[in-house]
Amino acid sequence: MKCAGAAPLLGSLPGELDPGEEALLGAHLATCSACRARQADVEALSGLVRDGLRGAAAKRDFSAFSDGVMARIPASAWRGAPAGPLDRFRELLRRHRVLAAASALVPALAAVALYLYIDRRGGTGPSELSVEVTSEDLATAVLQTSDGPVILVGEGSEGT
């Protein structure tokens, strides 16, 4: 291989050349100091360009890049996209409005029924007779009759 044939191959990245080209280029560089110097220049230039591009890229803030791209996609473009579970649920509610209202009413009515049931059971207290009597200096007595309680006070030194 001569210098004219080796020149296009200088600066190749690893893996770009096939094994035959790599062998020929290696043999030429071993014997040609001028091409070795060009090879070194190309590699140095490539390194500078690479480092410069990385530095320029590092100065840019790409954190909002994806959000910006997504925001520029029109909503109509998503029409064909598969709907999520929440979207499917909303669509279900929209199609079955009566069913949706009933599904909201049933647990609410169940809660009301439970409230009334508890209130009624709690009402067994008031529906039963309950008597509390206190007296500062008289004795008290409670007579239970079928018509209701009779509360009596009498001579004594204590109340109940």
List of residues contacting another protein (CB under 8 A): 93-94, 97-98, 100-101, 104-105, 108-109, 112, 115-116, 119-120, 123, 125-138, 140, 143, 145-155, 159
Burial class from Cβ neighbours inside 10 Å (0-12, 13-18, 19+) for residue 140 reads middle
Token readout for 48 is 């500078």
CB 9 within 8 A of CB 28: no
Residue 135 phi, psi (nearest 5): -140, 140
The smaller minimum CB distance to another protein, of residues 18 and 147, is found at 147
> What's the gap between Cα 24 and its chain centre?
59
* Pairwise CA distance, residues 98 & 45, whole Å: 73
Contacts of 150 (CB under 8 A, 6+ apart): 142, 143, 144
Write out the two tokens for 105. 């009413």
Shortest distance, CB of residue 86 to another protein, whole angstroms?
16
The one-character DSSP state at 62 is -
